[in-house]
Structure 1
Amino acid sequence: MTTTEQLGLIVEPKEFFEWLQDADTSNLLIVDLSTDENYSRAHIEGAIYLPFKYLMAGQPPAPGKLPGKEQLQEVLSQLGLTPDTHVVTYDDEGGGWAGRLIWTLDVIGHTKYSYINGGIHAWLKDGLPVTNEIHKPTPTQYTVGELNLAPLASAEEIMESLGQENFQVWDARTPAEYSGEKVLAKRGGHMPGAINCEWINLMDHQNGLRIRDDADEYLQSLGFSRNQNIVAHCQSHHRSAFSYLVGKKLGYNVRAYDGSWSEWGNLDNTPIEV
C-alpha cells in the first residue's frame, strides 16, 4: 500500500491517479480551489471545495493579506485539516489559488502538501475520471500556533531591502500593470528594480497549464538566481502565489508580499518607478 510520504511537492495527474488506486488515504485531504461553477461541474473524486476568498483577509485597501489566526483556524477546521493531514490541492487556472493555499500552509507551519501539476486542466487533458458528486469534509478542531513568518514579507521589509545586493522583487502582474499603463491602485507602476515575470508565462499552455519544463532557464534569463532573496507580489498575492510555488519547486529563496500592489500602490511613502 502506498502512503502520502511518497507524494512530492509537485505531482503529475496520472501519477496521483495511479497512486490513489493502492493508497492509504486516511490522512489525505484533496482540496479544489476552482470556481464554484467548475467544481460543481467536474472535480476529482473525494475533493473538497474551498472558496479562495477564505484564504484572504478581505479588508481594503489590501484584501489579499493573510487572515488572522481566528479566521485561519475556522477555515482549516471546517476543511478537516489535522497536523497529520497531507493536503493535495489544485484549481482551474494553473496554480494561483492552489499556490495560495500552499503558501498559507507554509505560514502556519504545515508542510505536508502537494500540488497537482496543471490542476483540473491537466487532469482532464490526461483523460482522467471526474465526478460532480459533492464531497463534504469532516470538521476538526485545528489550532494555528505560532506563525512561520519566513515565507512572508512586509512593505517595511521591502523598503529596507530595495537596492541591496542579492535582493530581488518578482512582479507577477501583467506588463501593463508593471509599466503603469494599467492602474489598479492610487498609484501605478512597479517597485524599483523589480523584474516583471507575469505568472501565466510560467505555464505550458499547450500541456494543460502545467509548469513549463524550462521554467528555471526562463527565470534565469530574466535575471533571477538562487543566490537572491526574492519577494514575489502581484495585486493581491494570488498570481504571485503561483510564482511562490514555482520558485519553491525550483529551489529559489522566494517569499511573498501578501499586501502586494493593492497595499504598496495605495501607500504615500513607497518608492515607485514607471
Structure 2
Amino acid sequence: MHTTLIDAATLALHAADPKWVILDCRHDLLNPAFGREAFAAGHIPGAQFASIDDDLSGPKTGTGSTFLGRHPLPERAALVQALRRFGIDDDSQVVAYDAQGGMYAARLWWLLRWIGHQAVAVLDGGLPAWQAAGQPVTAEPAPQRSAGGIAERPSLTRTVSVDDVVANLGTQDFTVVDARASDRFRGENETIDPVGGHIPGAKNRFFKDNLGADGKFKPAAQLKEDFAPLFASPAAAVMQCGSGVTACHNLLALEVAGLPGAALYPGSWSEWCAAPERPVATGA
C-alpha cells in the first residue's frame, strides 16, 4: 500500500493493474480549461482526468448564499459518487498526479483520506518525472472502467471551520500556516487575491518550499527540520492557502516528514476575506 508518495518506476510496474486507479489532476487557477486540454494532449496511459472544479470541489455558496470559498469541500456523498465513477473500490490503490509539483494532486490525496481511504499516493515529481524516466504518454481516451464500490469510512483527516479560526484569534490554541506564495501572503498579488493579506497571526510556508530543485519532495528529515520552527506540534497546526487546495501539499509534506495530525481549513483565504468583518493582516 502506498499512502504518501510513489515514484515513477514503481507506478510503471503497476500502471496496467486493474486494482490501480491513476487520476490526472492538472489545473490552472487562471485558466479552468487548462487541465482537460492538457489531459487530451497527453497523459499517463490508463489515467482518467479528475477536475479540481467539477469533481474535487463543492458549490461555492451555502445556506443563505454564504460564500464558502473558491474550492469548498464537496459533500461527502457526492465525492464518493465521483470516486465510484472513476472505478475506485475499497481495495484500490489510487495514484494522483499533476505537472505542478503535486499542488493539485495533493487535494485528491487529502480528499480520499477525508473519506477514510488510505491507499492513495501522489506521483513524486508528477508528469515531468514520469517523462524524465522515459515512460510513455498517450492522447488516447482513458478506457472505460466499471463503476467502483468505494464506501465512506471514518476520516483520516481533521478540519476546522471559519468560526474555529475566528475564535482562535483570541485563544491562539493553534497556529495557522498559509501555503500561498509570499507576495500573496503579504497582500501584493491582486490578480489572484483581490483582497490581499493573510489571517492575523498566520505563518507562511509556501508549498513549493516542500520540493527540491528536481521538483520532487525533499527528504523526510529535511521537511521535518523545515516545519519545526512553525508550530509546537502538528496537533496544534492548521494548514490553509487560497482556497483549501495547496494547503493539502503542506499536509502531505507533514505526513512524509512523519508529522501527522495537522488540520485543514477548507475555506481558506478566499472564504476568510469574503466577510469584511474578519480582520486582515498585510506585510511579512
State the TM bucket, normalised to the shorter chain: 0.7 to 0.9
Task: Tell me, in whole angstroms, the C-alpha distance in 1 between the residues paired with 2:164 and 2:150.
Answer: 28
Aligned 1:198-213 pairs, distance under 5 A: 198-204=206-212, 206-207=213-214, 209-213=215-219
CA shift digits 1:196-234 (9 cap, x unpaired): 111122222x31x211233332233x5345455211111
Equivalent position of 1:40 in the other structure:
40
Q: Could you tell me how far 1:118 is from its partner in structure 2?
A: 1.1
CA RMSD of aligned residues (A): 2.5
Aligned residue type for 2:6: V
Q: Could you tell me how far 1:155 is from its partner in structure 2?
A: 0.9
- Give the alignment's TM-score, normalised by structure 2: 0.82
Task: Tell me, in whole angstroms, the C-alpha distance in 2 between the residues paired with 1:106 and 1:263.
Answer: 23
- 2:240 and 2:269 in contact (8 A); partners too: yes
**Structure 2 gap segments, 5+ residues each:** 27-34, 62-66
Q: Could you tell me how far 1:75 is from its partner in structure 2?
A: 1.3
Equivalent position of 1:78 in the other structure:
85
- The question of 1:10 aligning with 2:5 is answered yes
Q: Could you tell me how far 1:29 is from its partner in structure 2?
A: 0.8
Q: Structure 1 63/71 Cα, relative in aligned 2: closer, same or farther at 3 Å?
A: farther
**Structure 1 gap segments, 5+ residues each:** none
Aligned mate of 1:229, from 229, 233, 236? 236
Equivalent position of 1:28 in the other structure:
20
- 2:48 and 2:142 in contact (8 A); partners too: yes
Equivalent position of 2:134 in the other structure:
127
Task: Tell me, in whole angstroms, the C-alpha distance in 2 between the residues paired with 1:38 and 1:260.
Answer: 27
Identity among equivalent positions (%) equals 27
SS at match of 1:211: coil
Aligned 1:59-70 pairs, distance under 5 A: 59-60=60-61, 61=67, 62-70=69-77
Q: Could you tell me how far 1:187 is from its partner in structure 2?
A: 4.2
Q: Could you tell me how far 1:73 is from its partner in structure 2?
A: 3.1
- Give the alignment's TM-score, normalised by structure 1: 0.85
Aligned 1:144-163 pairs, distance under 5 A: 145=152, 148=155, 150-162=157-169
Task: Tell me, in whole angstroms, the C-alpha distance in 1 between the residues paired with 2:106 and 2:126.
Answer: 11
- 1:191 and 1:273 in contact (8 A); partners too: yes
Aligned 1:122-271 pairs, distance under 5 A: 122-140=129-147, 142=149, 145=152, 148=155, 150-162=157-169, 164=171, 167-183=174-190, 187-204=195-212, 206-207=213-214, 209-213=215-219, 214-220=222-228, 222-252=229-259, 253-271=261-279
Query: Which 4+ runs in 1 deviate beyond 6 A?
Result: none
Task: Tell me, in whole angstroms, the C-alpha distance in 1 between the residues paired with 2:204 and 2:169.
Answer: 15
SS at match of 1:29: strand
Task: Tell me, in whole angstroms, the C-alpha distance in 1 between the residues paired with 2:39 and 2:232.
Answer: 37
Q: Could you tell me how far 1:166 is from its partner in structure 2?
A: 6.4
Task: Tell me, in whole angstroms, the C-alpha distance in 2 between the residues paired with 1:93 and 1:131.
Answer: 19
- 1:78 and 1:137 in contact (8 A); partners too: no
Task: Tell me, in whole angstroms, the C-alpha distance in 1 between the residues paired with 2:94 and 2:156.
Answer: 21
Q: Structure 1 142/162 Cα, relative in aligned 2: closer, same or farther at 3 Å?
A: farther
Equivalent position of 1:56 in the other structure:
57
The structure whose residues are more often strand, as a share, is 1
